[in-house]
Every structure is written in C-alpha cells, then in structure tokens.
Structure 1
Amino acid sequence: MTLACNLQCKSCFNRSGKPRPNELSTDEIKKSLVDLRKANVLDLRFTGGELTRRSDLFEILKSAKELGFAVSCNTNAAYFNDEINKKFAELDIEQVTVSIDGRKEHHEANRGCNTFDRTLSNLKRMHELGVKMRINTLINKYSLNDLEYMLDLASKYVTEINFFITRFIGRGSEFKKEDGLVTFDEFYEMSKQADKLRPKYPNLNILHFEQSTIDNSSRCGIYDEFGLKVGPPDGYTRFNIMSDGSLWAGGYIPYVDSSYELGNIKTDNIYDIWQKSKKLESFREESRKLELFCRRCDKYSKTCPGPNFELELLRKKDSSITNPYCYYGSGPSLLQ
C-alpha cells in the first residue's frame, strides 16, 4: 500500500522510508478491490512500508471486508496511537502480523532503539481487544538462541509464529557475515529444535523452514496426480500489486529483476494478465523448472524447504550471494 515507514530496519527488502511519489490513491485502491473481487480473488494481504502511515488505511480495509475478502495485514506495531489497535479489533481483520525479531537487544539491533517495548505493548493491547495475530521473526546468528523465548512470548498473545531469514534485497543486501547471517545448517538445526518444542505449545502454529515454504506452495504431487502445471506459490497461488499499481508474480521480484513487471492495475485488467500474460507464463515456466529440478535432489523434502525462486534469480545475477534455504546454496545458481 505504501513505502512510507516510521522505521529504517536493516533487513528491509524494499528500503521503506519515504512513500513512492505515484502511490495508488484511495479511489484507485477501492476500484482495484472491486476488480479483484470480480476476478474471484478471495484473500488479500496488505503490506508496506508501514500500513498505519496511510491515513486511509482503515477506510480501505473496511471496503475490502465489505466486499467479502479475507483480509490480513502486516505492521511493525511501533506506533503510539491506541486508536489503531481499536480499529483493527473493530474491523475483525482475519490476521494482523506483527514483526518481533527476538529479545529486545536483537530486535532493536535490526529495527532501531526504543522500538521493542512499543511493539510489545501494542501486541498485548491488540490481544486484549481480541485481534487475531501472528508474529514474524527474522532469524540471525544472535537470535537463533531466542527460539524458546519467542515461542513463550508468542504462545501468550498470538496463534501463529513464522521464522525466516533475511533476503539479500534492498537494505538486506547490505548485511554482512558480521551482521549475523545464518547458514543453511544453522537454520535447519533451529528448525529441528522448533519441532522438538511443538508439544509444549499445542495452540501455537509454528512455521519455519519447510513449513513456511511448503505449506504455502502448490506441490508437484498435484501435478503428478492431475496433470496440472504447478510450482512454487508466486504466480500460481499468489500475485502482488505494488503501491504504484504495478503487477508482479511475487513480492520480492520487483527488487530482483524489473523485467518481470506484468503491467499496472491502473491501466490493465488483472484477470487478463493472470490468464493470458505471456510474461507471467514464462515466469511460471522458469519457476516450474526450478521446482522439478529441486525434486531430483536427495535433500528435497528431507532437509530442504523447497525451491526459492527469487534467491536463485538473485544468485544468477550475483554469484557472490548464497541461498541459506538451499543445502547447495553456496554453489552456482540453480537457474542456468
């Protein structure tokens, strides 16, 4: 919805801070919502930037709810206005995702000083108001040991937590090893520990490693059984509209390769792009080939979370970049 943000997180893949000069207006977003509903889209996730920087946020969320969408959104929850918490509760949003990156010192190393207490306070307040929430936690070498701390915290206030790794995109591309980047083996070991801890948190959905990728993907088993063309989720089960209206198969792709832009919702019919775009079909085919290639690997569905197209595309352009989601992620890109 916007690139405007009140923070300057080191990991931010889209370098949020100032809004784009040509961001969609309230009316343009509302018209897009109607068009998306006509195209039988059912589920919307609103992200930023920081959504609460838009004064029309709740007007737009209300419109989406009235049109029958399942609505979720992301926030850093580092705001000072309790009215925001109340409005999330009043609209009965399906899920509000809050970013907390481990203990206070680890969270603030990424998101800035004096952010942790504010975010935690708003998380607790939304819990009191009955808001359904998830926590997103960025893992690095320092926060690896915060796993049980985060599970304890999450189990008190939310129903779901997702652990993931920094993408080397935007400000995230400036991360160095000394910033605490994790390896495939380190993240895998953390994931095994998370699995061991699951019985302790029966009411908490813990997403990590293969769960955060595979549970949100169309698996090739469907392809085998029904002859369907499927692959990783971008361009198959999800689609991204940027704050300027540009259309993309995935949310990270604009910051990796601008040649994959599919059009703009201000001028193009989203249903026609989804059904007929040759560029989108080309993207799907590349993604599908990667999925099928990965299926031949002895690590696939054992220690591997499945293909990560945007990181392999990034590695194809810059061989110095590694893919911590792949056992062989320090070698050549799998997209050749």
Structure 2
Amino acid sequence: MFRFKYREEDFAYICSLPDGWVDFYRFDAEDLIKRGDFGNIDDYALGDTKHLVDAKRKGKKLYREAGISSSVFDSDCPLRAPTVVQLELTLECNMGCKHCFNHGGVPRTEMMTTDEFKDIIYQLKEMEIFSLFFTGGEPTLHPDFLELVTYTDSLDMDLFVLTNGVNVTESLIKKVPRRAYFVFSLDGIDYHSESRKKITFEDLCTIFELLRTYDVPFLTQYVLQRNNIKDIINTYKWCEENRIDFAAIDLYPTGRAMANTDIFPTPEQLPLFRKLALAKFKYEKKLPEWEKEDKRTDLPNPYLFTFISRLEEIFERSFSGVFFSYIASDGTVYPDNWHAGQDMFPAGNVKGMPFKKIWETSFGEIRKLVQWSLYEQCKTCPVSAYFCDYRLPVLSYNMSGEYTSCGATDVMKQVMLLRAEMRETLENAYSIDEARALDIW
C-alpha cells in the first residue's frame, strides 16, 4: 500500500493514509497520527468529505460538511503550502503531441542549473508538500535526470515522473530508486502507435514488464480525444486483464490543442462515450483488489489529485495557485501547467525569491479569479450540480476571451452529464463520490 504522510495546517492535520485516502483530521488525533495508528482514524475526520457531491446536490454548504470554519474558507489560500507541485525539468520533448497542454518541444533559453533544481527541491521538502512531479517536455531528457531523481529520493520525498517512455530503458530502470513512480502516457492500443510514432504500444509493454521485474511502481494515463475513444474502451479491458492502473484525463482547450481542433470529440460520438463509461465502470471495480495485494508499504500515494478535487468542492474554487503549483525549468512559478503553457499569471521566479515567499505573497490575482462565485454561467449549468474542472481562467480565456466564463466545450458538458447520470442510475457503478476517490470521473 502507500506510505503514510501528514502535515499540520492551521485548522487540522492533512493525512495521506496507507489505503490512499487523504483527508482532514482533528488535532485531538495527534497521538494516533504520530503513532501511525489508523484503526479508528475515521472517528477523528474533520467532517464528512466522502459524500461531498451528494451533500452538494442536497443544497448543503460543503465547507460546513467538512468542518471548516468560515474564516479558513474565506481566506485566499486556506493551506500553508501546496499539496502537489509539478517541476518541469526541461521543456524539450522528443514528441509533438497534438494535445500537449504545455507546448513541449524546444527547451527554454535560461534553464536552471542542476544545483538550482536541487535547491528548489529542498525548499519543497521543507514546505512539506505531499507529492512532487517531474514533468516537461520530457523530463528524462534532462542530462542530470537520474541525479535529480536520486537526490529527491534521498530527501525521502514522494516523486512521480511523467513520461512518454521513449528514454525509459532497462539501464535507467536498474539505476532509479525503487520508490520513483513512473506515469506513462498511453493513448490506446492501436492509436498509441499511430499518434506517438517514436514508441509503440508493444514498446510500452516491454517497459512495463521491466518495471515489474525491478519492482519500480508505475501507472498509465490517457488524454481522451476524438480519435482514441473506441480504442480506449478496448484498452480498459487490456489494463484490467494485465492489472495496470489506467487514469483518465479529459481533453482541455489549452496549449497545442487549440491549434488542433480536429482532436476534440464531436456530438456524434456520445454513444461511444456511453460505452467508454461502461468499460471504465467495470475496470475501476477491480483496481482496489490489486492494491490490497501489493505488499509494499513505501509507495507514493497516487490519489492526491482526487483529494485536490474534493478541496475544490469544499472551498468552492479551482486548484490553480491554491492547492497546486508549477515551476518551469527557467525558475518561473505558475499556478499550474495549463497556465504555464500559455505564460499566464506568472507569480515570480525561484532564482530570485524563495518558493515559500512566492506562494505566500504572489498568487493574489489568480486566487481571486479561480473562485467559483465569479463564474456566472456555472450557476445555471446542470453540470455544476456534480463536478466540473473546466472553471479555470486559461480555459475560459481560450473559449471566450474572458477569465471567468465557461471553459468547457458543449460536447464535454454533455459527456460530463452523461457520466454523472450513468453513475446515479447503474447498479454496478461506483457512485460519483466513490469514483472521485479513484479518478477524475
């Protein structure tokens, strides 16, 4: 299972538990938390955050359901540090994916040195972030990639590496720390080879077997787009048969996707989305069984993003610059990777200012713009009764030229409603709240 971690906030502890659940716990649970005694930990949960969507649909105030005081709720940033940070090692990439949120390809002109990278990693360690993600571009292209992975592991930090897999060789796998968690792009079985070209589905299968041989953890994720929906249905079946974690990411209107509108799903594909949802519902029932069988207890928790999505619900604001941050390879700090991809709302540079100071003083504008109360269209949108992660200034700006309008395409709104309605009506599907503990939908 996963390594236990906790952090003290002004109003509660955040605990990342061995079963993957992350939540707020009262201060009177301190002895249990510090002993690592989780038998009765649920008795100390700050509130009922396992049923947020259900509570919201009943008209309840979620921050009250979660036991959060109004003073914490009203602050621009309720947490003293981000829960997750993405650190871009290089913007250089050996692929040119049409959907890339970050315009990966050519490296930035003034990259941080390896020592500067180590310094910021140490700063993040001191701030007690829960997870660090190495990203790009393609992070394995950094000449000191292995050195930076090893350094991060030496600080006892939980590290994930987002990669296309081209540079993940047996030689590299032999050298990486056993806790480095690789996250591979997998666009499907047939479509992956067609879209990626430099690495085939069969190549990835070989890499997965090597990772299992050397006991290095990994998962896969896909970006849903027009040409891979049918293939993803079959890929869920393959992942179920081969016990491979397969996480869902929707296509967002940002980055390189804005110049490749031919990859956005169409209304005619809604019947396929129904079949895709059924395949996912079947697959996700098996996932907890595999995790229980894993005897390791030192793995990084891959479910921090599901906690972030619940934080968004509780505090009624999106994650950018509030629960999450992105540091570019030249040291520029952004609210997230999507805003970084379009150079929007830079908050400072870690070459000239400690990250802690940037976090505490320089995200004021974006923290106002991500508050859901500003998104007037959402108040009458049926999707808002469930969960929508398209309420972001960059997505809104790309769709309408405004920062606080709808950031979703009409098709994706229909898809989100379809998924929610299927979860509510199908007996063999997880509820929306249960599913949100595993994935974004």
TM superposition score category, shorter chain reference: 0.7 to 0.9
Given candidates 84, 102, 106, the residue that maps to 1:18 is 106
Contact preservation (8 Å) 1:7, 1:17: yes
Structure 2 counterpart of 1:231: 317
Structure 1 counterpart of 2:401: 317
Segments of 5+ residues of structure 2 without an aligned counterpart are: 1-88, 292-302, 417-441
Q: Which letter maps to 2:118?
A: K
**Residues 151-190 of structure 1, C-alpha deviation per residue, up to 9 Å, x if partnerless?**
233345565321223333333222233x463559568633
Q: Which letter maps to 1:282?
A: E
Structure 2 counterpart of 1:246: 332
Structure 2 counterpart of 1:326: 413
Structure 2 counterpart of 1:108: 193
Contact preservation (8 Å) 1:23, 1:245: yes
Q: CA deviation at 1:10?
A: 2.2
Q: Which letter maps to 1:239?
A: S
CA RMSD of aligned residues (A): 3.3
Given candidates 364, 376, 386, the residue that maps to 1:281 is 364
Equivalences for 1:167-246 in 2 at 5 Å?
Answer: 167-177=252-262, 179=263, 181-182=265-266, 185=270, 189=274, 190-199=276-285, 202-203=288-289, 215-219=307-311, 222-223=314-315, 231-246=317-332
- Higher alpha-carbon deviation: 11-20 or 262-271: 11-20
Q: CA deviation at 1:98?
A: 0.5
Q: Which letter maps to 2:339?
A: I
For residues 287 and 96 of structure 2, what CA distance do their matches in structure 1 show? 33
Q: CA deviation at 1:242?
A: 0.6
Q: CA deviation at 1:295?
A: 6.0
Q: CA deviation at 1:95?
A: 2.1
Aligned-partner SS, 2:383? coil
Q: CA deviation at 1:52?
A: 1.4
Aligned-partner SS, 1:58? helix
For residues 164 and 300 of structure 1, what CA distance do their matches in structure 2 show? 19
Contact preservation (8 Å) 1:97, 1:134: yes
Contact preservation (8 Å) 2:120, 2:355: no
Structure 1 counterpart of 2:159: 71
Output the TM-score relative to the length of structure 2: 0.62
1:32 aligns with 2:120: yes
Is the alpha carbon distance of 1:201 and 1:271 closer, same or farther for their aligned partners in structure 2, counting shifts above 3 Å? closer
Q: Which letter maps to 1:68?
A: D
Is the alpha carbon distance of 1:325 and 1:67 closer, same or farther for their aligned partners in structure 2, counting shifts above 3 Å? farther
Q: Which letter maps to 2:309?
A: S
Equivalences for 1:117-128 in 2 at 5 Å?
Answer: 117-128=202-213
Is the alpha carbon distance of 1:285 and 1:192 closer, same or farther for their aligned partners in structure 2, counting shifts above 3 Å? farther
1:97 aligns with 2:189: no
For residues 233 and 212 of structure 1, what CA distance do their matches in structure 2 show? 12
Q: CA deviation at 1:196?
A: 4.2
Segments of 5+ residues of structure 1 without an aligned counterpart are: 206-210, 224-229, 330-336
Larger radius of gyration: 2
Q: CA deviation at 1:21?
A: 2.2
Q: Relative contact order (alpha carbons < 8 A, sep ≥ 6): 1 or 2 greater? A: 2
- Higher alpha-carbon deviation: 118-127 or 235-244: 118-127
Is the alpha carbon distance of 1:328 and 1:17 closer, same or farther for their aligned partners in structure 2, counting shifts above 3 Å? closer
Aligned-partner SS, 1:24? coil
Is the alpha carbon distance of 1:120 and 1:172 closer, same or farther for their aligned partners in structure 2, counting shifts above 3 Å? farther
- Higher alpha-carbon deviation: 167-176 or 21-30: 167-176
For residues 16 and 186 of structure 1, what CA distance do their matches in structure 2 show? 33
- Higher alpha-carbon deviation: 22-31 or 308-317: 308-317
List structure 1 runs of 4+ shifted beyond 6 angstroms. Answer: none
Q: CA deviation at 1:322?
A: 5.3
- Higher alpha-carbon deviation: 138-147 or 150-159: 150-159
Is the alpha carbon distance of 1:152 and 1:193 closer, same or farther for their aligned partners in structure 2, counting shifts above 3 Å? closer
Percent identical pairs in the alignment equals: 20
For residues 97 and 305 of structure 2, what CA distance do their matches in structure 1 show? 23
- Higher alpha-carbon deviation: 77-86 or 60-69: 77-86
Is the alpha carbon distance of 1:291 and 1:95 closer, same or farther for their aligned partners in structure 2, counting shifts above 3 Å? farther
Is the alpha carbon distance of 1:119 and 1:176 closer, same or farther for their aligned partners in structure 2, counting shifts above 3 Å? same
Q: CA deviation at 1:119?
A: 2.5
For residues 197 and 359 of structure 2, what CA distance do their matches in structure 1 show? 39
